[in-house]
């Protein structure tokens, strides 16, 4: 696929636990190794390793499991329908819905911000988990569109009142939430953290060319969050995972920085010296056909690898929850995995592609409507710009 499509490099590496080669995108064998996925039975669980560390107020334990105990979501007030977009570009509700499955999307308006959506989603997760803000040890903000150049994780931490927490941002586009979720479980397993908020949120409406019907029909704004909590290894809800990235596919989906052409002080030969060019980001540019081909090939492979790590098959999962990019992609992946449509979670029609928010947003709706029940096994996958993609097999509560 790599050479034929020019999307994914055949040398792309994945994070794996055992030496195997099911994921060579060009059909070649590949061996890589990293990451322990489950605490050993018995072992060192609960053993204090370092009570004199910089986090001495809390003993450090290793070998702990992780479980999802709460979720929340938030969307902007303004709803933009396909009919609304038909007033801006040459399109129609039928044209958009047939090709994408999308009917509506939410877009920031007024004083709304990504940080505000993220804080609201995180509060919902805390309330469901019956955890106070002061009990949170870490806030991971997964976004490619922060309110501030330097990220907004710390601002979300502040707004929530998580005064005992550390916070940072992760940028991995539509794979961001999956990366953040896996990162949270590693902090619990080896760092002694007990309660971690993972927030996925994006406001891609800021970077959409609303005159380009190829992209403006796709994206919406939202935030979703989960509370990941430490538990014993026998309760571990992170059953397996798989991660990839390949910068060779960046040209297929991007929003590159662009220079502001201003007046510059030049030397005698005309070369500009000062001041440096101001930069801003261009609108989202996407080769839809190539991204579709990448997703329907790589995502099923990634999920199968994560299932293998978990010792499960596709028939063992209760729900398939993919990044909500396009209904055709969701349907194609489900078909390749032989997962029936009644086991597929999708809310794409109401919100569009909300990037890092899409998985936790759909999960929150499925939990609160009673679709997802305690003990259910969920296969989830994110994929998008970078290119990045990855999968997690997880158990709800």
Q: CA–CA distance from 325 to each of 17, 237, 354 (Å)?
A: 29, 25, 8
Q: What is the CA radius of gyration of the chain?
A: 21
If one counts every other C-beta atom within 10 angstroms of the C-beta of residue 320, the result is 22
Q: What is the dihedral of CA 78, 365, 118, 233, to 10 degrees?
A: -170
Q: Are 363 and 321 in contact (CB under 8 A)?
A: yes
Give dist(CA 267, CA 204) in Å, integer.
Answer: 40
If one counts every other C-beta atom within 10 angstroms of the C-beta of residue 337, the result is 20
Q: Are 173 and 385 in contact (CB under 8 A)?
A: yes
Structure tokens at 9: 């490099």
Query: Which is nearest to 167 in space by CA: 154, 158, 182?
Result: 154
Burial profile 128-165: b = 16 or more Cβ within 10 angstroms, e = fewer: bbebebebbbbbbbbbbbbbeeebbbbbbbbbbebeeb
Give dist(CA 216, CA 24) in Å, integer.
Answer: 34
| Residues catalogued as catalytic | 174, 323, 353
Structure tokens at 157: 């931490």
Q: Are 382 and 175 in contact (CB under 8 A)?
A: yes
């Amino acid at each position: 696929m790599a050479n034929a499509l020019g999307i994914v490099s055949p040398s792309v590496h994945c994070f794996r636990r055992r030496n195997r080669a099911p994921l060579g995108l060009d059909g070649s064998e590949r061996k890589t190794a990293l990451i322990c996925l489950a605490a050993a039975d018995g072992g060192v669980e609960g053993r204090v390793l370092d009570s004199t560390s910089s986090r001495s107020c809390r003993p450090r334990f290793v070998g702990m499991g992780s479980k999802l105990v709460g979720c929340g979501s938030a969307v902007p007030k303004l709803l933009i329908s396909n009919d609304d977009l038909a007033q801006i570009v040459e399109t129609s509700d039928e044209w958009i819905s047939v090709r994408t499955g999308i009917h509506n999307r939410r877009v920031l308006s007024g004083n709304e911000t990504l940080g505000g959506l993220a804080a609201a989603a995180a509060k919902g997760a805390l309330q469901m988990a019956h955890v106070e803000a002061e009990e949170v040890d870490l806030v991971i903000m997964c976004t490619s569109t922060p309110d501030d150049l330097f990220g907004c994780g710390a601002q979300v931490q502040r707004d929530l009142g998580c005064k005992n927490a550390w916070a940072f941002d992760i940028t991995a586009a539509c794979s961001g939430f999956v990366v953040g979720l896996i990162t949270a479980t590693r902090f619990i397993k080896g760092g002694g953290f007990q309660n971690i908020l993972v927030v996925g949120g994006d406001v891609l409406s800021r970077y959409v060319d609303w005159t380009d019907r190829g992209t403006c029909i796709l994206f919406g704004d939202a935030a979703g969050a989960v509370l990941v909590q430490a538990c014993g290894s026998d309760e571990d809800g992170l059953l397996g995972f798989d991660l990839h990235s390949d910068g060779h596919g960046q040209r297929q989906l991007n929003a590159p920085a662009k220079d502001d052409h201003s007046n510059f002080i030049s030397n005698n030969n005309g070369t500009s010296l000062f001041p440096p060019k101001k930069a801003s980001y261009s609108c989202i540019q996407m080769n839809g056909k190539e991204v579709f081909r990448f997703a329907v090939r790589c995502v099923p492979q990634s999920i199968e690898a994560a299932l293998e790590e978990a010792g499960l098959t596709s028939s063992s999962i209760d729900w398939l929850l993919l990044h909500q990019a396009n209904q055709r992609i969701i349907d194609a992946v489900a078909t390749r995995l032989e997962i029936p449509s009644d086991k597929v979670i999708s809310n794409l029609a109401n919100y569009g592609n909300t990037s890092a928010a899409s998985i936790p947003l759909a999960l929150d709706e499925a939990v609160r409507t009673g679709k997802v029940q305690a003990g259910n096994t969920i296969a989830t996958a994110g994929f998008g710009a970078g290119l990045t993609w990855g999968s997690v097999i997880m158990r709800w509560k």
